[in-house]
Structure 1
Amino acid sequence: MLVDNAVNGDSRVQKIARSAAEAGWTVTLLGRSPDKEEHTWQLGQAEVRLLPVSNTLSTRPHQLRRNWLRAPLGYPPNGAAALRSQQVKAWRADLRVRRIELDMQASAGKPVGVRRQMLRAESFAVRAVGRWVRFRRGQSHRARDARQRLDGPWDRLYTRFWQSATGDRSWRRLEPALWDWELSFGKVVDRLKPDLIHAHDFRMIGVGARAVLRARSAGRTVKLVWDAHEFLPGIRPRRDDERWMPAHCAHEREYAPYADAVLTVSSGLAEWLQERHGLAKLPDVVLNAPGKLDSFVDLDESTPNLRTLCGIDDVTPLLVYSGAAAEQRGMATMVEALPHLGDAHAAFVVNSPSGRYVQGLVARAEELGVADRMHVLPYVAHHQVVSFLSAATLGVIPIHHWPNHEIALITKFFEYSHARLPMVVSDVKTMAAMVRETGQGEVFTAEDVTDFIRAVRAVLADPERYRAVYDRPGLLEGWTWEAQAQVLEQVYSRLLPDRPAPPRAADPDVETTSLSIGMAR
């Protein structure tokens, strides 16, 4: 398994790893270490190994050179600026001590006139040198900050040149940092000698495809599954980097043809992928649905209580948002609406409670006078999410209109459903259509605070009416991970028809077939 994160917090990665291992495969999940050390633990019957990944190739050549045009007087990017600043500080510190010594000697009646004049001259010199160093260092910082951005005319010209000259191989020039994943993971995958590599998303498809090519050149049969979690061109682009999106799209196009099977998260995305990459077969859909409440729970483990963490009773209305924290997720709409929702509280269960965006929302809540009704909480374990969220009154999905948001029933939709929460969702295409069809919540116009308030008030007026939808026979059964795991097993069996079906973990005497599943995001 290959994943470009630290595994924790990625429920899809964890569920696939555990399900594959429980089905009898030998599973090793390789993730990215948060530091320079390798970490290992067990995820059910799967082994997790987090490997250090160097960021060396993310450094651009121009970041190592002096920028003569933008900062002709700036210091070279070799540490000279920091060195000179420290030297000036040390000089000033020395002058302060020497001045004190002179004052003490003068108090003792010793002659210090000449030395005091020299000290004054030296103080003048350190002030002048300090201003010069600050000026040069300021030029260096401005030049560095400007070249951190890759969105100028030169960057656009650079991108177009390499796209025209090398086509889909252009990512090697535009985003060489993609090689850092290969250099950290490639040799480990080769040593594992997997029968099947399951590569998730756009970063890992290259690592997986190259590992398959090396294995086949050595005479081993290896199959590659590519699991596309998102439509890459539909991701919100980085505002300050003209190269990122073209590079990653080229990387994906180069290696997508090597996939023996493609999986994705929704039927809409499956159609887009088939058209974009000319796939002969429509990708199989594996929803990121939650498992049954007791599927992955350890017997000695208790789930935290959402309302207790928020410090509220069982009757206070509680809106919950669970998921990644980002501007396009629409969390600001909830904060702006809170002053107009009576005594209702809002809980944000997010991946980065102390992040800049979340702290900005906290500051805004303070300005609006509702900070005491806004609660920021960290993620819980993926198998605890449903029971954790079930204490809320309603679940909120206020995402903005972006291509990837339009085509999928996202993870929190299924989590809210299994928690039997009424929902308030924005009018993104697929999810709004489902909520209107089932009646499990209300739809509001994305980024419209007034319409959001209307929708929330409608649900709070009669939450049981919306909650009753979940009693409909068969509605939740198809939205379980157990049903999705069957699709995974069918794909693996289709790719390896000549191999015996992997035995269940309960039969320890039968040798299992090795499976490496590459995962990202």
Structure 2
Amino acid sequence: MLVDNGVNGDSRVQKAARSAADAGWEVILLGRAPVGQPQSWRLGDAEVRLLPMPEPLAKRRHEFRRAWLRRPLAYPPSGIAAHRTQVVKAWRADLAVRRAALTAAAGESGAGRAGGLPWTALRAEEKLAGLTRRWVSFRNRQLTQARRGRKLDGPWDRAYTLFWQKVHGGGAWRRLEPGLWDYELAYGPVVDELAPDLIHANDFRMIGVGARAKIRAAAKGRRIALVWDAHEYLPGVQPWRDNARWLPGNVAHEREYVPYADATMTVSGGLADLLQREHGLAERPAVVLNAPAVDELPTDPTAPVPDIRALCGLAPETPLLVYSGVAAAKRGLGVLVEALPELSEAHVALVVNKPDSAYVRGLVTRAGELGVADRLHILPYVPHHQVVPFLAGAQVGVIPIQHWPNHEIALITKFFEYSHARLPLVVSDVRTMAETVRETGQGEVFRAEDVADFVRAVRAVLADPARYRAAYERPGLLAGWTWEAQAEVLDEVYSRLLPDRPGPTRTADPAPSAAPTSVEVGA
């Protein structure tokens, strides 16, 4: 298995590796080390290896050049700026110690007032150090402004992108996004050494690494089965604001190597249909939902599950709305804060990945302006096996995501987490999630970013929560939304591609859906 991150925090990849190993496959999961040193550990019966990955190709050539015309006095981008800053700091620190030593010596001698040649020289050197500090700071600011001024979204960069798309077609990614080669150079040799029978490539960066390994193996007369696991619809990803090359480059890379995949899987039926049309796939990708695992035991079963109400200081009868997951503007969290003045008795808990981020601080500031800061609670993530029972202490699970292409076509992880916690839902009208909620009756749908409609939906749920919770009693509903059910699909794909592999397939019996204990806070 290949993934372009550090594995920790990627619940889908972790669950896939663990369940494949449980089914009898020998699994080695290769990820990217967050620091320069390799790491390894066991994930159930699967082996995890994190590889160091230098990124020299991720930098563009202009980042190595001076901006002579725009900022002629800026330091060169060679690292000398940090060195000069530190030199000046050390100089000023030395002057402070020398001043202290002269002051102490004057006190001991009874001179009382500082004077003489040493003091005159010290004051002159302090003035020189102050002027030098201002000069170094000025050149540092010039360097920062030069870096900010050269983005990759201007007319030149758009023309550059179009030129290489015309010249190289699908191979234009080699010019537009050369940093993809850093992944190949880190992962490729390790994959060749392992000589796998099957490669499970997660998402758009790893499909190239897997496909090239398959090609090299074929040249040596050895077959590798390649599975591409598409986590999202790449053309629908929000592009980097200052990089006109990133999205076209990555899309071209994906399209070049998808034809090498022997099987494709993805996170939802809507995305499966879209990928089949987009890439002309002969068969519809298998759907493996980002559902929670209900049979994984906690590392420390004696550790108590935190009480979300106790952390918020709330009584059992106080209405509590919860959002869990990444805190970002496109997740639409602002609507929860704006609605609090209209929901006079309700509280909101945001269980987020970065409680101290600038975005979250902005939400807290806005709550203060509205006079509702005491009803907004910011909480950190809890361990993955505690998420569902932790969320179950709330009354309503909220998913206010905005209309982005990838939001329209998937049931995201938090949808399943809320469902296993048996929370009534209030969700925005992104297509797939809204259709599901309306069909199951487990919640209410509101128009994305519409505060008044959000208030209406919340009031409807709080007026009769039992009505919405009853949807979870439908036979088979929650059982189908477990990772154990998805792992069977995963094993079927592997077994179809390698029908002659040795050893039995061990498929665990699906765990009961009534007591989920192991899921990851969803993104």
- What is the TM-score with the length of structure 2 in the denominator? 0.88
Equivalent runs, 1:222-301 vs 2, <5 Å: 222-292=224-294, 294-297=295-298, 300-301=301-302
How far does residue 452 in structure 1 lie from its aligned partner after superposition?
0.9
Aligned to 1:146: 149
Aligned to 1:518: none
Rate the CA distance shift 1:493–1:98 in 2: closer, same or farther, 3 A: closer
Rounded to whole Å, the distance in 2 between the matches of 1:499 and 1:178 is: 32
Equivalent runs, 1:67-466 vs 2, <5 Å: 67-88=67-88, 97=98, 129-147=132-150, 149-292=151-294, 294-297=295-298, 300-302=301-303, 303-466=305-468
Rate the CA distance shift 1:100–1:208 in 2: closer, same or farther, 3 A: same
Given that residues 349 and 379 in structure 1 are in contact (C-alpha distance below 8 angstroms), is that contact kept between their aligned partners in structure 2? yes
Rounded to whole Å, the distance in 2 between the matches of 1:407 and 1:248 is: 20
1:482 aligns with one of 484, 488, 492: 484
Task: Give SS of 1:226's match.
Answer: strand
Task: Give SS of 1:340's match.
Answer: coil
Given that residues 488 and 507 in structure 2 are in contact (C-alpha distance below 8 angstroms), is that contact kept between their aligned partners in structure 1? no
Rate the CA distance shift 1:408–1:122 in 2: closer, same or farther, 3 A: closer
Rounded to whole Å, the distance in 2 between the matches of 1:217 and 1:164 is: 30
Rate the CA distance shift 1:308–1:5 in 2: closer, same or farther, 3 A: farther
Rounded to whole Å, the distance in 2 between the matches of 1:257 and 1:308 is: 53
Larger RCO (CA within 8 A; separation ≥ 6): 1
Rounded to whole Å, the distance in 1 between the matches of 2:296 and 2:111 is: 84
Q: Partner letter of residue 177 of structure 2?
A: E
- Larger deviation: 458-467 or 209-218? 209-218
Rate the CA distance shift 1:113–1:409 in 2: closer, same or farther, 3 A: closer
How far does residue 409 in structure 1 lie from its aligned partner after superposition?
1.6
How far does residue 369 in structure 1 lie from its aligned partner after superposition?
3.4
Alignment of 1:57 with 2:60, yes or no, is: no
How far does residue 261 in structure 1 lie from its aligned partner after superposition?
0.4
Rounded to whole Å, the distance in 2 between the matches of 1:117 and 1:192 is: 70
Rate the CA distance shift 1:40–1:373 in 2: closer, same or farther, 3 A: farther
How far does residue 164 in structure 1 lie from its aligned partner after superposition?
1.9
Rounded to whole Å, the distance in 1 between the matches of 2:70 and 2:311 is: 52
Q: Partner letter of residue 183 of structure 1?
A: L
How far does residue 95 in structure 1 lie from its aligned partner after superposition?
6.5
- Larger deviation: 151-160 or 458-467? 151-160
Rounded to whole Å, the distance in 1 between the matches of 2:64 and 2:72 is: 15
Q: CA RMSD in A?
A: 2.9
Deviations 1:174-214 (A, max 9, x none): 22222222222222222222111111111111111122222
Task: Give SS of 2:218's match.
Answer: helix
How far does residue 31 in structure 1 lie from its aligned partner after superposition?
2.0
Aligned to 1:512: none
- Larger deviation: 60-69 or 245-254? 60-69
Task: Give SS of 1:450's match.
Answer: helix
- Larger deviation: 426-435 or 468-477? 468-477
How far does residue 289 in structure 1 lie from its aligned partner after superposition?
1.6
Rounded to whole Å, the distance in 2 between the matches of 1:16 and 1:101 is: 68
The unaligned stretches of length 5 or more in structure 2 are: 509-522
Deviations 1:411-443 (A, max 9, x none): 211221121110000011111112112211111
- Larger deviation: 402-411 or 52-61? 52-61
How far does residue 405 in structure 1 lie from its aligned partner after superposition?
0.8
Rounded to whole Å, the distance in 2 between the matches of 1:26 and 1:173 is: 37
- Larger deviation: 333-342 or 301-310? 301-310
- Larger deviation: 399-408 or 10-19? 10-19
Q: Percent identity between the aligned chains?
A: 65
Q: Partner letter of residue 140 of structure 2?
A: R
Deviations 1:241-282 (A, max 9, x none): 111111110111111111000111112111211121111111
How far does residue 69 in structure 1 lie from its aligned partner after superposition?
1.6
Rate the CA distance shift 1:92–1:191 in 2: closer, same or farther, 3 A: closer
Rounded to whole Å, the distance in 1 between the matches of 2:120 and 2:476 is: 92
- Larger deviation: 186-195 or 404-413? 186-195
Aligned to 1:509: none
Rounded to whole Å, the distance in 1 between the matches of 2:159 and 2:57 is: 21
Given that residues 209 and 258 in structure 1 are in contact (C-alpha distance below 8 angstroms), is that contact kept between their aligned partners in structure 2? yes
Deviations 1:143-168 (A, max 9, x none): 02223x31122222222222222222
Deviations 1:106-130 (A, max 9, x none): 9959997888887777666555555
Task: Give SS of 2:477's match.
Answer: coil
- Larger deviation: 453-462 or 6-15? 6-15
Rounded to whole Å, the distance in 2 between the matches of 1:462 and 1:70 is: 63
Aligned to 2:39: 39
The unaligned stretches of length 5 or more in structure 1 are: 507-520
Rounded to whole Å, the distance in 2 between the matches of 1:462 and 1:328 is: 30
Given that residues 493 and 501 in structure 1 are in contact (C-alpha distance below 8 angstroms), is that contact kept between their aligned partners in structure 2? no
Rate the CA distance shift 1:48–1:108 in 2: closer, same or farther, 3 A: same
Rounded to whole Å, the distance in 1 between the matches of 2:92 and 2:368 is: 42
Given that residues 28 and 48 in structure 1 are in contact (C-alpha distance below 8 angstroms), is that contact kept between their aligned partners in structure 2? yes
- What is the TM-score with the length of structure 1 in the denominator? 0.88
Given that residues 388 and 417 in structure 2 are in contact (C-alpha distance below 8 angstroms), is that contact kept between their aligned partners in structure 1? yes
Q: Partner letter of residue 477 of structure 2?
A: L
Rate the CA distance shift 1:49–1:375 in 2: closer, same or farther, 3 A: farther
Rounded to whole Å, the distance in 2 between the matches of 1:455 and 1:371 is: 22
Given that residues 155 and 242 in structure 1 are in contact (C-alpha distance below 8 angstroms), is that contact kept between their aligned partners in structure 2? yes
* Paired positions, count: 505
Given that residues 31 and 51 in structure 1 are in contact (C-alpha distance below 8 angstroms), is that contact kept between their aligned partners in structure 2? yes
Rounded to whole Å, the distance in 1 between the matches of 2:65 and 2:185 is: 25
